[in-house]
């Protein structure tokens, strides 16, 4: 019991630190580590047996599993927002999972006798027949005749190239930082208020190790303006700053002369 509780507490810190470093693969791995341990805890505790032989023990097991499910819902929200919302609904909790406080990960907030909602299957198993059919399709494609190279082919990896249409989907705009402050309990993140011309947006950036908040005030920055908002450590970010990293140094992209906020970059 205590090990599961301890792992819930450390998972929030580990996933949060990985997100601060924009190490999304590592953050996902840490989240899945907790999911796997909680599943092992459930199987090893065998509540289907203790339900009759030791009801109190069974109740403790199920309670901790529900608490773990709460914590997993909050942890998965940055990666699987729709699945996290389904879990939140199944737990019959008020509000939305996006409103949950990241700092409360590791707590046991669900009270005894709390009524759960309707439980549904989150992920359906892919049958062997479907897997085999996909393998056969891929094998057939790989064994097909190679496609001739276009006459203007170069040594550049075409898979890394994008078309002008792809580039035009990204809206880059100038912005001016009007406020900056650290994100609580994070040594890597800053929360910025950026004047975008017609609106002021809140952005979260992992630049606290390279910039002090006060030196950013008034600075012109380049913002990915049409990026879908996302929550980082429980704080909504409504865009992304562009920066260049060179070794252990990071520099924000800016302009070589003053420009007004909200101007498109082309």
pLDDT for res 195: 95
Give the residues across from 175 on adjacent strands: 221
The chain-wide mean pLDDT, for the chain, equals 86
Residue-wise pLDDT tens digits, 221-257: 999 999 888 888 888 899 989 999 888 888 999 998 9
CA–CA separation, 203 vs 194, rounded Å?
7
pLDDT for res 149: 47
pLDDT for res 143: 58
Largest CA distance in the chain: 76
Phi/psi at 138 (5° precision): -65, -40
Q: Which of 120, 81, 113 is nearest to 99 (CA)?
A: 81
Record the pTM: 0.55
Phi-psi map region of 169: left, alpha, beta (phi>0 left; psi -120 to 50 alpha): alpha
Residue-wise pLDDT tens digits, 32-68: 999 999 999 999 999 999 999 999 999 999 999 999 9
- Ordered structural domains, the chain, with CATH: 2-104 (1.10.730.10), 166-252 (2.40.50.140)
Residue-wise pLDDT tens digits, 72-130: 999 998 888 899 999 999 999 998 988 888 888 888 889 988 999 998 888 888 888 88
Cα distances (Å, whole numbers) of residue 97 to 80, 155, 234: 11, 47, 10
Burial of 102 (0-12, 13-18, 19+ CB in 10 A): buried
């Amino acid at each position: 019991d205590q090990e599961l509780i301890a792992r819930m507490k450390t998972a929030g810190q580990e996933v949060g630190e990985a997100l601060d470093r924009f190490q999304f693969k590592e953050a996902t791995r840490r989240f899945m580590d907790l999911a796997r341990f909680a599943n092992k805890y459930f199987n090893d505790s065998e509540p289907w047996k203790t339900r009759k032989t030791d009801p109190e023990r069974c109740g403790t097991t199920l309670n901790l599993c529900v608490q773990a499910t709460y914590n997993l819902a909050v942890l998965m929200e940055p990666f699987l927002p729709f699945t996290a919302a389904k879990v939140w609904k199944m737990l019959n909790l008020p509000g939305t999972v996006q409103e949950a406080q990241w700092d409360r990960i590791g707590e046991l907030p669900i009270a005894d006798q709390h009524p759960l909602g309707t439980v549904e299957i989150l992920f359906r198993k892919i049958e062997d027949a479907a897997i085999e059919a996909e393998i056969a399709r891929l094998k057939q494609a790989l064994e097909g005749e190679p496609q001739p190279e276009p006459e203007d082919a170069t040594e550049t990896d075409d898979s890394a190239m994008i078309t002008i249409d792809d580039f035009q989907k990204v809206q880059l705009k100038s912005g001016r930082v009007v406020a900056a402050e650290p994100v609580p309990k994070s040594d890597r993140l800053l929360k910025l208020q950026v004047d975008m011309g017609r609106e002021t947006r809140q952005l979260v950036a992992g630049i606290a190790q390279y910039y002090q908040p006060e030196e950013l005030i008034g600075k012109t920055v380049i913002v990915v303006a049409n990026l879908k908002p996302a929550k980082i450590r429980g704080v909504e970010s409504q865009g992304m700053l562009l920066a260049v990293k060179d070794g252990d140094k990071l520099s924000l992209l800016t302009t070589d002369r003053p420009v007004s906020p909200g101007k498109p970059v082309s």
